[in-house]
Amino acid sequence: VYKRQPPSNPKDIRPLGGMYYDLSSVRLALTHSIGGRGGIVINKKWIVGGSAQANLAIGYNFIYLGLPAKIYTGQGGVWFGRFLFPDKAWNLALSNTLSGGVFGSEVRLSEPDQPLRTADAYNTEFFQWSPQLDVFVKVRPQIKLSATIGYRFTLGMKYNPVVNNSQMNSVFTQVGFTFGEF
């Protein structure tokens, strides 16, 4: 008995997504962020999706008007790229993220031994382009360990008195997990 096979889909489209921990530098101070990426993989090669990230403001590492300050950033945008070894247990991807976000800063007005008093110092919008190299290592069939290294180019911080464009430009690294069949 002959069983009729359904017609094959000429475009193999599969979802992927995951989260990561990011280390980068702003004004030569180490910043920590958490983020996520998701989208689709077309024909086991092309990545099209989005990303979002926010920094974790740990301490008053910056000075604004002679006072200690923290910075906060949040951004989101599109993620696109290409896998180089789609059928291997480890996979490389060359990808880019184009994102926009908001920069904010908080100034500590009180002395360290006094109750905390703060004020918002400055807020501005910015844009970033981040070319990157991603490595994905298969842990389980649908779970990959991911590691990324890239560089962020920033625009829009020209009139910010706390941090400027060149101080936001930075090498970054990310580690995390990605889920999906790719």
Label residue 63 by pLDDT band (50, 70, 90).
confident
119-172 residue pLDDT tens = 888 888 999 999 999 999 999 989 999 999 999 999 988 777 888 889 999 999
95-119 residue pLDDT tens = 999 999 999 989 999 988 899 999 8
pLDDT at 8 over 60: no
Structure-block tokens of residue 48: 């099209």
